[in-house]
Structure 1
Amino acid sequence: MAMLFEAWQGVQGRISAACTACARKPQEITLLAVSKTFPAADIHQLYQLGQREFGENYAQELEQKATELADCHELVWHFIGPLQSNKTRIVANAAHWVHTIERSKIAERLNNQRPAALPPLNVCLQVNVSGEASKSGVAPDELLVLARNVAQMPRLKLRGLMCIPEATADQVKLAKQFQLLKQCQDMLNAHGFALDTLSMGMSSDLELAIANGSTLVRVGSAIFGARPYLASPPEQEQ
C-alpha cells in the first residue's frame, strides 16, 4: 500500500502545482483513478486512502468489480471506454457516470435501461477534438444536435464533455485541442445547457489540461504503474 499511496499522493501534488500555476483551486479538479485491468484489491486500497472516483473501460470488468466492492458505499464508478450496444445494460446498471457518449442510439439504450430505483446516469459527450478519422467522438459541428437529444432523456443527466486528444508530444497542438473542448462547453452553455464537467487530461498531460479548463483528469499509469492489457491497447494511455 505504501507504493500506491506514494504514487497517488504524487499525482495529487501534480494537480495542486498545476492549479497554482494557472490560478485555480485544487478543489475544482476531480481525480479519476483509472483502474482498468487492475484488481479490485488495488481499488480497495486506494478507497481506504480516500480516493472515491474510479474509471473502467470494459463493461464486464466494471460489473465484476462493482460486485466485489459493493461494500464501498461511497465509491463512484465512471465508464470511460468505447461502449457497444450489447453492453449498455451492464453499464446502465453498474456505473454512476459514462464519459463516452457519441451517438444518440447509445444514449437511448442507456436511458431506457437505467433502473428506475437509481438516480439518473451522469453522462459526458465525447468530442473528436483532433479530427482524426480513427478517433471516437462526435464532430464539434454535430455536438449541439447530440446534446439536445441527450438532454431530453429523463434517465440521463448531461454533465459535460470528454476528449482523448491526439497522441503527440506537441504541447501547442495539444493545448489547441483542449481549448477546443472548452470552446464546445462554452458554446453549449450559451445555448442554455449547464455543463459543469470537462473530462480531459491523463497521466502525461494533466497539467496542460488543467491550464486549459479541465475539471476532471483521468489518471491510471501514474497511480497504478504499468498496465497489463486485457484487450487491445486503448487509443491513448490514461
Structure 2
Amino acid sequence: MTSIQHNLQETRQRIAAIAERCGRSPQEITLLAVSKTKPASAVAEAADAGQIAFGENYVQEGVEKIQALSERSPLEWHFIGPLQSNKSRQVAEHFAWCHTVDRIRIASRLSEQRPAHLPPLNVLIQINISDEHSKSGIMLEELPALAQAVAALPNLRLRGLMAIPAPENDYQRQLTVAKKMADALATLKQKHPFVDTLSLGMSDDMEAAITAGSTMVRIGTAIFGARSYAATTHNKN
C-alpha cells in the first residue's frame, strides 16, 4: 500500500468515526481530495485507491491534470479556488463543479460558456462566514438574491453552499460557525428544495463541520502530504 493509499484509508476511517459519533451515515459525506500543487501521478495513485472526487484551486493546473487523466474511468473534478472572469471558460469547459461562485457576473459567464454537450455545471455559492476581508464570498444577507439569480441560469445547477471559516483551534467555536452554515443551507433549501450540498471542513475543523451537517469535506495535506508551492506559481489561477 502506498502512502497516499494509506492516508486515504485513514481519512475515510476518520470521517466514518466522526459521522457515527454524531449519528450520521458516512455515506452522507463526500471526501474531496484537494490535489493542488500535486502532480497528476499523485491523483492517479489516489484514483487507484478508489478516490473519485478531486478539488483544484488553480485553473490551469487543474485543466492540465484533467487532460492528463482523461483516459481514466470518470473522475469528478471540482474547482475550489477564487475564480477570475478571464478563467471562467476553462472552468465551464472542464470541471463538473465550481464551489466559489460569489457574484452573478461569474455565474452568468459560467452558464454562457458551459458546452452544450455537458450536463449543467454544479455550483456552490461561497459564503464569507467569518467576515474576513481577505476571503472571497458573500455575506449571508446577500444569499437569497444571488441564489435566486444563479438558480435561474440555464446551464448551472445550484447545489448549495461552501465556506472557508477563519482558522480556529477551539472546537466549540468551530462548531458554532459550522452550525451557522448548516442553518443557512436549511434556509436556502426552503426556497430551493433541490439544494443538497454543504462544502465545509478541512483537516483541522472536519469534526465540527461533519457534526454540524457538512456533506463534503475538502482534505489535501492529510492525503497527499505537504504542498510545494514554488513549482506551481506559474500555474496559479
Aligned pairs, how many? Answer: 233
- Mapping for residues 112-151 of structure 1, pairs under 5 Å: 112-151=112-151
Residue 49 of structure 1 aligns with an amino acid whose one-letter code is: A
Q: Which has the higher contact order (CA 8 A, sep 6+)?
A: 2
Q: Deviations for 1:102-137, whole angstroms, at most 9, x for unmatched residues?
A: 000000010000000100000000011111222211
Query: Separation in 2 of the partners of 1:200 and 1:47?
Result: 22
Q: Deviations for 1:181-203, whole angstroms, at most 9, x for unmatched residues?
A: 11111111122432100000011
Pair 1:4 & 2:9 matched: no
Query: Separation in 1 of the partners of 2:164 and 2:233?
Result: 19
Q: Look up the SS of the partner of 1:124 in the other structure.
A: strand
Q: Look up the SS of the partner of 2:32 in the other structure.
A: strand
Query: Separation in 2 of the partners of 1:116 and 1:73?
Result: 22
Query: Separation in 2 of the partners of 1:158 and 1:191?
Result: 12
What is the match of residue 182 of structure 1?
182
- Mapping for residues 1-238 of structure 1, pairs under 5 Å: 2-229=2-229, 230-231=232-233
Query: Separation in 1 of the partners of 2:134 and 2:3?
Result: 36
- Structure 2 gap ranges (5+): none
TM-aligned CA deviation for residue 179 of structure 1: 0.9
Q: Deviations for 1:24-49, whole angstroms, at most 9, x for unmatched residues?
A: 01100100000011000011111111
Moved over 4 A (4+): none
Query: Separation in 1 of the partners of 2:98 and 2:39?
Result: 21
TM-aligned CA deviation for residue 170 of structure 1: 2.3
Residue 223 of structure 2 aligns with an amino acid whose one-letter code is: I
Query: Separation in 2 of the partners of 1:130 and 1:146?
Result: 19
Q: Look up the SS of the partner of 1:174 in the other structure.
A: helix
Q: Deviations for 1:111-168, whole angstroms, at most 9, x for unmatched residues?
A: 0000001000000000111112222111000000000000000100000100000112
Query: Separation in 1 of the partners of 2:176 and 2:70?
Result: 40
TM-aligned CA deviation for residue 231 of structure 1: 3.9
TM-score computed with the length of structure 2 as normaliser: 0.95
Q: What do you get for the CA RMSD once the two structures are aligned?
A: 1.4
Q: Look up the SS of the partner of 1:202 in the other structure.
A: coil
Bigger drift between 83-92 and 180-189 goes to 180-189
Residue 73 of structure 2 aligns with an amino acid whose one-letter code is: H
Contact residue 166 and residue 174 of structure 1 kept, 8 A = no
TM-aligned CA deviation for residue 92 of structure 1: 0.5
Query: Separation in 2 of the partners of 1:168 and 1:25?
Result: 26
